[in-house]
Amino acid sequence: MLNCMKIQGFKCFREAEIRFSDFTLLAGKNSTGKSTVIQAVLALYQNSASSLAGKYMNIGTVGEVKNWITGSKRIFLEAEYEHQGKNSSYSKIFLDNGEEEKNGIGFSDKMNIRYLAADRIGVEDTYQKSLDGRDQIGVRCEYAFFYLAGHQGEKVKEQGFIYDNKTKLTLGGQVDYWLERILGYRVSAEEIPGTELIRVAYSHRGVGKNIRPKNVGTGVSYIAEIIIAAFSCEKGDMLIIENPEIHLHPSGQAELMEFLVFLAQRGLQVVMETHSDHVFNGLRRCINNVQITNDRVKIYFFRQDEDRIGIPVEIFLDEDGHVTNHEDGLFDQIEKDLDVILGW
């Protein structure tokens, strides 16, 4: 489990410390540091010639991403994590000449991270197979339906993620349960013989079968991919999702939060970046309903100071899900708009 990230001189940050829990939510305006925190985690996690360019992300050179406002000469990243009951740390110093100074025990082989980028693959007529095996999802979820096609009749990888024994215990059964609960659809995937392609079909609450992805709402495919990716994880893994609300109605966003909170309760560490007040309030509602306790949730709101330096502010919720330290800009645009409309 990732416990803490320390960041110095990276992009908008002069210095920042982010503590993680079972469920961690990152919020704030554009370009205030949310994605930078995720990129810092991935820079320490991915194994490549350059940690800034690899399987999970490619953000350029040190000169491009160091904090030019403060005149930073280097980037320092450190992760504190727990593995098999032992606390460890791993850090890297990134220098202008491309060299990396490493210290501690790397965690790329100590924990599994599923990272779902904001630019995920959406609605397609067909989807690609992965050439790297059936357990790939892809950072854009490009292989999610390939994973489903290969495993939908098998038991879920992590039995602790099964909602209850009244639902089907297979991957396909669990994906259908949650997709139907959130949006009313079920999904199936199969390989097209003689090709490297996957065919996907939906049905709606038992009415209509073999509906093409392009003939259902766009959000259905996006949420199906998230659900499949989540069930490809095991207890102790980390699932990082950027903007899970894409193409999803507010009620669906709230239901999606119940799904992810359920998995966080069962041992999946969830990290999420969002611009949605419905996601934020959905998490608060889960706390209010005692689906997760407030001490297992971390929320950070990112803002910038007058020099455009990123400032992470921890937001605290009480046991009823009420915000105890509100920040201006923390999902309050509706209230501001209503003040104008109603003349208050």
The Cβ of residue 30 has, within 10 Å, a number of other Cβ atoms equal to: 8
- What is the pLDDT, as a whole number, of residue 136? 87
Regions of the chain where pLDDT drops below 50: none
Q: What residue ranges define each of the domains in the chain, with the CATH number in brackets?
A: 2-112+238-342 (3.40.50.300), 126-229 (no CATH)
The Cβ of residue 269 has, within 10 Å, a number of other Cβ atoms equal to: 23
Type of residue at 14 = R
- What is the pLDDT, as a whole number, of residue 209? 79
pLDDT in tens, 89-101: 999 999 887 778 8
Q: Which residues contact 135 (CB under 8 A, 6 or more apart)?
A: 147, 232
- The residue with tokens 């609605």 is 123
Q: Which residues contact 141 (CB under 8 A, 6 or more apart)?
A: 116, 120, 121, 225, 226, 228, 229
- What is the pLDDT, as a whole number, of residue 48? 62
Pair of tokens at residue 225: 């991919």
- What is the pLDDT, as a whole number, of residue 153? 95
Mean pLDDT of the chain: 93
Q: Which residues contact 151 (CB under 8 A, 6 or more apart)?
A: 134, 157, 171
pLDDT in tens, 144-181: 999 999 999 999 999 999 988 778 899 999 999 999 99
Burial of 296 (0-12, 13-18, 19+ CB in 10 A): middle
pTM of the model: 0.95
- What is the pLDDT, as a whole number, of residue 272? 98
